[in-house]
Structure 1
């Protein structure tokens, strides 16, 4: 079931307790999020877990990935350097040392680097069975290491990811001239690629106290003024109209804060670059919601083009301001 089908099933009458998106109703702490602004789950896993190095290397951040690759490179060559020192540097023809431990280690380390990378300048060569076996093993580890690193680089670059930015703030403001209020936030595609059939779903979560004082987290799907755009070339202001059926109906700023709400935004679209569906998530707490303000216009015509200013995504102004 895709996002649009799921949203349709919610509209057909599921109650607040059935719209929990998998978080359940027992998470009642208003100090923490269910979903972080970057779309990740705000969950700290503890206890038994399986270690999957390939998945971890593909999903970790780029700085951490490079740190792991460089650390592996240095560690492996340091191990081989120690083994060459163990059998004796006299088995490395042409190795130049100053007679100190540091000098011997440096000579062995850089010979290991040349073997590991298959550079082989020719100034130093192994002599004897043990040295040749170590050199062959170092070359094999190097070839396998570069093959794995190449595969990881490709997987990381080829992994589809939606670079859709959410505004830092959401706003509650009058909806046109209807007399209703509305909950609004906006999104924009940071990349200059085509994302088509983009659909949005917004769920509101809040803490509700029962008759016996027991707290439970409730969820309700928020119908949107427009829940899908076929093309996404500009920004999109996502609007929920606060009518009589909305859980926000009749709420002011103080009442909303007491509810400890979180607005969960889920997006799904088709990325033509990767020819795959992409997803983006974010959330807003009550402290992220401003009242009585509107978003600045992000685009305007100029010299035959439409200019889209991404820097205006988070800019707000008072109602009626030019």
Structure 2
């Protein structure tokens, strides 16, 4: 690990200034991803600005009835919050499925959204990786890619996004708020992650030097009837092979609202809008759910070694939505 400067601050403006004044400076919160990458030689910040002491750790009510998750709130705190568990259960379930208790106690909301891919070629400086070294190539395309993307990838990168938390946040139309030296701003999570394109190293739409301050969950009655299901390669904590965050509101046999996002299939959480549009307003029958799932995965372009993910994603969508459709409406928030 290379030498670096370290500063701790309790003021947002000071944190922003410390990063702006120093080329190669980075914000440090829980460090569960960044420090590992520093040890591997993938990340080499010249200065770390510790933001854990900023007043950004609260979980509070939004004026419109949603929730505001502070950027430095720990994953454990969010998963355990009674309001999250009642109003957005899929979010709590996703966090609990995402890591060990020790990691959840350190990892933060903002850091979770900004974590880098777990592609083995990205983590190995000796391998070609356009996400780590633009223009070097993508070793995964002809290499070991059984757990890589099947949707929206390009020849420049086939890695997937590792966050479990971001999947239900995407399904529930969360908004990321941030601060810069020029003022505050916000980005819908649906627009937060950039498409791969020809510059996979440019991962988010955050302005340079911006600091995430919170994530806002808008009110959504359907989110109370939600579930997160994750398929992984071992029972202990591991990154998703495919995951599904789904919410369904069925009244009198008709789908009033539905939300669905996938993890493990693309470079960003994948909002399954084809499923949503196919089901909304119609009967929640097994046949319609199956057809909607098939429609979503029809655009998949599997690689040589991961075609199984197409079937897995389709079956997982069907299973979770079928279970939600069978639940009595009055039990949706239990």
- TM beyond 0.5: no
> Comparing both chains, which one has the higher relative contact order based on Cα–Cα distances under 8 Å and sequence gaps of 6 or more?
1
TM-score range with shorter-chain normalisation?
A: under 0.3
Bigger strand share: 1
Q: Rg larger in 1 or in 2?
A: 1
TM-score normalised by length of structure 2? 0.19
